[in-house]
Structure 1
Amino acid sequence: MFKNVMLYRIGPDWPRSAEQWEEALAAEPFAECGASQQKSSGWVPPRGEAHGALVESVDGQWIARFCLETKSVPGDAVRRKAQEVIEQIEKTTGRKPGKKEARDIRDDALISLLPQAFPRRSQITAWIDPQRRWLVLDAGAQGKADELISSLARVAGRGFEVGLLQTAQSPQGAMAAWLADESGDALPHAFNVERECELKGSGDEPAVVKFTRHPLLTDEVRQHIAEGKLPTRLALGWAGRVGFVLTQALQLKKIAFEEGVFDEGSKSGDDDRFDADVALATGELGGLMGDLIEALGGEANSTAVTDQVPAATGVTGAPPAQRAPTAAAADDDGPPF
């Protein structure tokens, strides 16, 4: 099941079928880091089977999985090794290395230590709803999502368009209205406010108020809203079936399916269970996200897609195994199914 959701709108020209997506992903299969590589990324079979399909179609929903592997060396170890080389140069030649040479020495020290580093691996499930043209990522960090989007841009070529889904009303404005309303009528009937929230003020040093396991439809919370503090995160429940935290960026965090939702999948074998879990998760989350978009006034423009391929990596350039790792991309999330 999904732990997090980032929701994108994809253009109408790619992919036209699960088979077309499968063929594209085959251009960037995952291979673990080599001895001197800091990072490797690519696509793996979502069922976890060696040499399995890279795209699975379940109840008309398309599922793929992106894998990231990173190796990091403590900065202190790199500095110590580089300092040993610098001191040896000073001792044998009587000169102190310049800035460029010292930087090269540090780079060489890092490369020499990488074979001893332990790799960390994480995965992101990507779900395409071909009817609604949604790309849904189970990613908790933007850096990871950017890696996946960049890979799609490289393998898809012309015709690939993607943009974060935009709603007519901002999530932050809607969350503030739901919390400020004394009657309780502002919140759509499918949703209920839970007991976790973060409110943030404005200015250079904004005040932040966090509520955990605390009633939120209270005069205290309404007073904070009246003073100008706006919600950045709000825990909600949907239809008695799914709990989650909505963020101001329209991301869903801490997704938790209520007890009994996955009972059907738990009675199946490994292969059948994957299909059942995918069908249940995409069915529940599809309904939730549809209601949430409606609660936020609908899509701002459901036909518009802006090119949001991450500028830092771009569509061309070094292959993924040669790009430097980021802290966000190194987070270790387990597979959602």
Structure 2
Amino acid sequence: MWFKQLHLYRLHGTPAVTAAQLAEAMANHAAKPLGNADARRIGWAAPAGRLGGGQLVHELQGHRLLSALRQERMLPAAVVKEEVDEQVADIEAREGRKVTRKEKTALKEQVTEALLPRAFVRQQKIDMWWDTERQLIGVNAPSRARAEDVLDLLRETLGSLKATPLSSQTLPIRAMTTWLGDPASRPADLQLLDGVELKAKGDDGVVRARQVDLDSDEMQQLLESGRQASKMALGIEGQLTFMLHDDLSLKSLRFGDALIEEADHADDGDDALARLETDFVLMAGSLRANVARLVEWLGGENRQEPAPKEGSNV
């Protein structure tokens, strides 16, 4: 249940919707098996699986847990190309002419359509944390693109949703560079750990360092050469550790031992569903508090609402 990465979004003017209303709307967009002609599909799934009796929304102490199931047929481009090349060669040998580019495009579409039903299906479950009190959403996705897929599903489910990536007054890359270069600038509870990625302003590439002393002379020399910290391993003392990225996403999340121990000692009566909900509410409470602290250290939140797009309801 514990999230490993987090892409954060601020909601703007979201209409009030109860957990029951949300679950009813989500049921209309529930995950279904891929059809033979479907390349990919995303729909809602029960966070607890069969253990939760198909429950799509878990709401506890102002936090909601939702899960999306993304399905995609894995059809390697090389397989399609090989089949198309064989058919092109057969046509050219049989008819004594060159196959045109337009014909090749049509052949590629036909081959893809024919091979899709036999392609391996990869499934990916993506969990979402929705803090209804602070109107914040966090998606446990490996990439921003995957997080956006889940947000698009939520938009379709609700009819409209104004959500923008969480942003701070001070850019993370600027704050991380300052913290790295000036120990006195670091908040009292902030810990610099042993990993960093430094980008140059020009085309000098990226320097990645693991298990290094971030206060070493070598690090300072790299900063003096004009490099900036685009990723940095950080910790909030006793609470959690993570890799902060320059888009304010958090990767490699690890929660503090005290929180994990509290979850382990919770009286859930060996009920797997109760265990999931206990883990979630403890994790969500920690995320609510520590995301707020991190944003404060970054100069506070930039709450500028998105400009309305013509013909768009998002």
The TM-score with structure 2 as length reference comes to: 0.91
- Given the alignment of the two structures, is residue 180 of structure 1 paired with residue 178 of structure 2, yes or no? no
Change (3 A) 1:83 1:207: closer
Query: What's 1:220 paired with?
Result: 218
Query: What's 2:133 paired with?
Result: 131
Deviations 1:162-188 (A, max 9, x none): 11111111111111111111xx23111
C-alpha distance in 1 between matches for 2:313 and 2:40: 18
Letter in 2 for 1:168: Q
Query: What's 1:31 paired with?
Result: 32
Deviations 1:284-323 (A, max 9, x none): 111210110110111122xx331699xxxx889xxxxxxx
Residue 300 of structure 1, aligned match among 299, 302, 309: 302
Letter in 2 for 1:17: T
Residue identity (%) = 27
SS in 1 for 2:42: strand
Residue 251 of structure 2, aligned match among 220, 229, 253: 253
Query: What's 1:121 paired with?
Result: 123
C-alpha distance in 1 between matches for 2:224 and 2:22: 49
Deviations 1:55-75 (A, max 9, x none): 110222011011111112222
SS in 2 for 1:140: coil
Moved more, 90-99 or 146-155: 90-99
Change (3 A) 1:67 1:116: same
Query: 2:58·2:277 contact (CA, 8 Å) conserved in 1?
Result: no
Q: CA deviation at 1:141?
A: 0.6
Deviations 1:190-230 (A, max 9, x none): 21100000111012x23322210111022221221122100
Equivalent residue runs for 1:163-174 within 5 Å: 163-174=164-175
C-alpha distance in 2 between matches for 1:279 and 1:227: 45
Query: What's 1:208 paired with?
Result: 206
- How many matched pairs? 307
Letter in 2 for 1:162: A
Query: 1:55·1:63 contact (CA, 8 Å) conserved in 2?
Result: yes
- For structure 1, the 5+ residue unaligned runs are 317-337
C-alpha distance in 1 between matches for 2:71 and 2:122: 5
Query: 1:150·1:315 contact (CA, 8 Å) conserved in 2?
Result: no
C-alpha distance in 2 between matches for 1:124 and 1:307: 28
Q: CA deviation at 1:133?
A: 0.7
Change (3 A) 1:177 1:75: same
Change (3 A) 1:211 1:308: farther
Query: What's 1:74 paired with?
Result: 76
Query: What's 1:95 paired with?
Result: 97
- For structure 2, the 5+ residue unaligned runs are none
Query: What's 1:60 paired with?
Result: 62
Superposition RMSD in Å: 2.2
Change (3 A) 1:45 1:228: same
SS in 1 for 2:34: coil
Query: 2:63·2:284 contact (CA, 8 Å) conserved in 1?
Result: yes
Moved more, 243-252 or 5-14: 5-14
